[in-house]
């Protein structure tokens, strides 16, 4: 967790700057800025830090680690919480009731476990299917050719509500290096899953490029909260 609470004036300046960049990128692409959700990625930052952005009007927050998220959500249940980290199947039972959305669905085994726990509580969960477009061994996600059959089988789990696709391009300091992956995710959605309307893609370094290629959710951490202290 960050040792010091964020300065509210600095937080407001960062938040407004990101909002302006989202607006500008959308307008340049001929899109409505209202189509794009800013998801504040709050991993390693405290509930006090999150409260600063909540008070500014930020509604959606993303967490990567379950135990850390459980503590924060217990202290600050009001936001719309998204789980954006890798979810092990044996942890699926902790998601219902905590999160409104999961961005990293990648297997039918996980889908089955989530559905079972959701049905037991009469709940539903929005999900994004993670696609590993770069086929990186270090990252989770379906290979793109598996998306269509995966979606067909996902219909067997009625507590899951597919919203769209998510991807993580290979890291590069040059945001233009991410563009082909963002474009590929958009094209994959158009060809194999046109009924899904959302694309979760783009982070602090490349979100304006992602918006120009069709992103509807951008996941922003460092540009809002500052550098993370993992010590």
- Assigned domain for 3 exists: no
Taken as a whole, the chain contains a residue count of 231
- Assigned domain for 71 exists: yes
Q: What confidence tens digit (pLDDT) does each residue in 4-36 have?
A: 578 999 999 999 999 999 999 999 999 999 999
- Assigned domain for 114 exists: yes
Ranges of residues in the chain with a pLDDT under 50 are 1-3, 231
Look-up: residue for tokens 């850390």?
68
- Assigned domain for 39 exists: yes
CATH code of 138's domain: 3.20.20.10
Q: Which domain holds residue 191?
A: 8-223
Q: What is the pLDDT of residue 159?
A: 98
- Assigned domain for 157 exists: yes
* Of residues 161, 75, 83, the one with CA closest to residue 115: 161
pTM, two decimal places: 0.95
Q: How many structural domains is the chain composed of? A: 1
How far apart, in Å, do the first and last CA atoms of the chain sit? 9
- Assigned domain for 230 exists: no
- Assigned domain for 45 exists: yes
**% residues pLDDT > 70 (the chain):** 97
- Give the separation between CA 162 and CA 105, rounded to whole angstroms: 9
* Of residues 230, 216, 162, 158, the one with CA closest to residue 193: 162
- Give the separation between CA 12 and CA 114, rounded to whole angstroms: 36
- Assigned domain for 16 exists: yes
Q: What is the pLDDT of residue 228?
A: 74
Q: What is the pLDDT of residue 230?
A: 52
């Amino acid at each position: 967790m960050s040792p010091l609470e964020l300065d509210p004036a600095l937080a407001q300046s960062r938040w407004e700057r990101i909002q302006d960049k989202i607006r500008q990128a959308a307008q340049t692409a001929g899109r409505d800025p209202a189509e794009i959700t800013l998801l504040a990625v709050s991993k390693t930052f405290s509930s006090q830090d999150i409260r600063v952005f909540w008070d500014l009007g930020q509604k959606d927050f993303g967490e990567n680690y379950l135990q850390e998220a459980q503590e924060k959500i217990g202290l600050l249940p009001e936001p719309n919480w998204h789980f954006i980290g890798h979810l092990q199947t044996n942890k699926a039972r902790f998601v219902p009731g905590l999160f409104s959305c999961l961005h990293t669905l990648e297997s039918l085994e996980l889908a089955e476990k989530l559905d079972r726990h959701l049905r037991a509580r009469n709940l539903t969960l929005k999900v994004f299917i993670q696609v590993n477009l770069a086929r990186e061994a270090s990252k989770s996600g379906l290979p793109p050719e598996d998306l269509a059959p995966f979606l067909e089988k996902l219909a067997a789990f009625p507590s899951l509500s597919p919203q769209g696709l998510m991807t993580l391009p290979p890291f590069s300091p040059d945001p233009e290096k991410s563009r082909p992956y963002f474009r590929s995710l958009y094209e994959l959605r158009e060809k194999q899953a046109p009924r899904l309307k959302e694309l979760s893609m783009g982070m602090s370094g490349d979100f304006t490029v992602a918006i120009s290629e069709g992103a509807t959710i951008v996941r922003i951490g460092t540009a809002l909260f500052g550098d993370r202290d993992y010590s």
